[in-house]
Structure 1
């Protein structure tokens, strides 16, 4: 397979090849950053999924959406270490793994962002349109499962270009020697390359960022106006939560999408080697910031809610009791069991408290 038309003319005798490989120190720093993202993302999203499976049955549309967001983020953080390792050590895994791992981020992006838009829409209907939507929300679980299924199918459909055109191939140097094994978008003709190099990032920016952003801004702005008119002691806390959700979303994804837009616009224009290096460095940094959002989702959409925090405390209590069962004597275990029972009753009793996000 051959990649798209090269950005630089290496056939000219006076032009040396442009080495776009990342600096070793940059690669090490990127590895540490992605390891932290992976660790916290794995822990946070696994706790969200465990909570919904074992402690908090999905009762509302938002519960179903949050569960699916955690699944989407978990898929990505599991794939992230393999992606980073293979990029830095030449791609040693087969072509199937190449396609699947490269598609993991795309599926996470589309499904996760669209589900966050669904959460904001559900909160808008529940708070701003509470009276008119009462009858429809009685069938919320059925609707939410259908919507989530549609979101996942739509995300897979949007990922098809990445899945189809991503290939594992050997990169050759000017002397005909194998320079390394890579896994990236690859095309058999120039026209397809030009089309896909514009379509893929354009879809990512439009559906993976702009559409969810517009939905979130409209819905949360309407919710804030409604809450400010309401006579509620909790309204200021709810407004702060909404502002945090929107600000974090923009802070994580805006830099990457702006850089991606700049990169896409300049693809078919001549540019210097140094400018290309700087642009790729900025793209890598902003991409890591976008990855960070999968760690913050559990905090913003789950753990910040009072109900969810009580279930999280119950998980910690049950894990503590489970470990004590194998350490203490029978008498101490009996005392621990009594403590665990009282702790569970206390935790269940606190579930009557409501909050905006849970």
Structure 2
């Protein structure tokens, strides 16, 4: 999880001394303002969790009722939903942690919540990238891609994503632990490199920083931008009536990813400054930007699902079946699974 600063300290220890984590705090820098902002913003974590639970649950219901889990898109989407739910399941714990400014769930839960947090976060980024790449194959190389885009390809791709995400979590979880300060003896759950005799904590933190920068920011951004540029070119050059609406939708998807995910990572690039004021400003920016990133991962599976016409149709069918009175106001077109699974270039391009 992102570091949560104890209530009245920003820099609790002199990190230049390997034994300082057991010594008296020095260089105290109050961070009440940052902690207050984090506590206030953390209230939206509960709403994000409930919204994600409902929205992603709805995606799962629609896939189960109307779709086949053997198709490439549905396999990838199912894994994205699972990774999103994993990440969101950690947010209520993080919310309580930020509001109390100390950890109350014990050491075991600290490791579990931290593992779920990072695994869900990292895998969500990679599954979004993988879904974009797969959509690019389906649209730009519709005929040739049909030979490659099979169930084996989807399962292998998902396995690679989970493996890479799991390995990327290992350095974080080595540093992630519970500890108590000598001031008020409250427990905290975050990165804390004390008693790491078998590894260089500074090098380990540097490696996680560059790993997140290249693998979970630059790589996804390059892939997503490239894929959607190719998709936009293909759609514009085709003779489909809805092409301009589709291109607009593509632009919104890319823009949302940039707006929500990039600021969070840019703040991580800002070098640590010994000035108390600079640390406070960086702390405020970190609180705001990672909450924006959380919102994107909360809505992304739902957004990627319901931009498609067939899922909109499925949703209307569910509404009409559950509330028959809406049939007068909602247009419902019954579409069979077979028809909706047809792999044609035109249907692959109709993203809106």
Q: How many residues align?
A: 327
Tell me, what secondary structure is at the counterpart of 1:126?
helix
- Write the mapping of 1:147-186 to structure 2, written as runs, cut at 5 A: 147-173=157-183, 177-178=184-185, 180-186=186-192
CA distance in 2, matches of 1:319, 1:64: 27
Distance 1:301 1:232 in 2: 21
2:334 is the counterpart of 1:348 = yes
Residue aligning to 2:281: 278
Matches within 5 A, 1:169-208: 169-173=179-183, 177-178=184-185, 180-187=186-193, 188-189=195-196, 192-208=200-216
Aligned to 1:325: none
> Structure 1 residues 24, 131: CA separation in 2 closer, same or farther (over 3 Å shift)?
closer
1:118 aligns with 2:130: yes
**Corresponding residue SS for 2:77:** helix
Q: For residues 265-291 of structure 1, what are the alpha-carbon distances to aligned partners after superposition, in whole Å with 9 as ceiling and x for unaligned?
A: 32xxx5111211111110110000000
Distance 1:205 1:57 in 2: 36
> Which has the larger displacement, 95-104 or 28-37?
28-37
CA drift of 1:305 comes to 0.9
What is the alpha-carbon root mean square deviation over aligned residues?
3.2
What runs of 5+ residues in structure 2 fail to find an aligned partner? 1-11, 341-346
Determine the C-alpha separation between the residues in 2 that align with 1:320 and 1:107. Answer: 38
Counterpart of 1:224 (choices 221, 232, 239) is 232
Q: Deviations over 1:97-150 (max 9, x none)?
A: 10121222321222111111111211221121123223233xx12210121122
Equivalent pair of 1:259/1:283 in contact (CA under 8 Å): yes
* Cα separation, 2, equivalents of 1:96 and 1:200: 23
| Alignment partner of 1:98 is 2:110 | yes
State the match for 1:329 in structure 2: none
Match of 2:344 in 1: none
Contact kept, 8 Å, 1:87 with 1:182, in 2: the verdict is no
Cα gap change, 1:159 to 1:189, in 2 (>3 Å): closer
Residue 255 of structure 1 and its aligned partner are, at CA, apart by 0.6
Q: After TM superposition, give the deviation of residue 356 of structure 1 in Å.
A: 3.2
1:51 and 1:7 map into 2 onto residues whose CA distance is 54
CA deviation after TM superposition for structure 1 residue 95, in Å: 1.5
Q: Which residue of 2 aligns with 1:326?
A: none
| Residues 289 and 345 of structure 1: CA distance in aligned 2, closer, same or farther (over 3 Å) | closer
Report which stretch shifted further, 312-321 or 206-215: 312-321
The structural deviation recorded for 1:343 is 11
Is the deviation greater in 86-95 or in 301-310? 86-95
Do the aligned partners of residues 91 and 25 (structure 1) sit closer, same or farther apart at CA in structure 2, a change above 3 Å counting?
closer
The alignment status of 1:6 with 2:6, answered yes or no, reads no
| 1:240–1:135 CA distance, 2 compared to 1 (3 A) | same
Runs of 5+ consecutive residues of structure 1 not aligned to the other structure: 322-335
Closer, same or farther: CA 114–30 of 1 in aligned 2, 3 Å: same
Per mean C-alpha deviation after superposition, the further-off stretch among 77-86 and 50-59 is: 50-59
Tell me which structure has the larger Cα radius of gyration.
1
The runs of at least 4 consecutive aligned structure 1 residues that moved more than 6 Å come to: 7-10, 342-345
1:315: Cα distance to partner?
2.7
Per the alignment, do residues 34 and 52 of structure 1 end up closer, same or farther by CA in structure 2, a change over 3 Å counting? same
Q: Any idea what SS the aligned residue of 1:91 has?
A: coil
Q: Which of 241, 257, 264 pairs up with 1:256?
A: 264
8 Å Cα contact 1:302-1:357 kept in structure 2: no
Does structure 2 conserve the Cα–Cα contact (< 8 Å) formed by 1:110 and 1:155? yes
My pick for the range that moved more, 346-355 or 117-126, is: 346-355
Which residue, 316, 320, 327 being the options, matches 2:319? 316
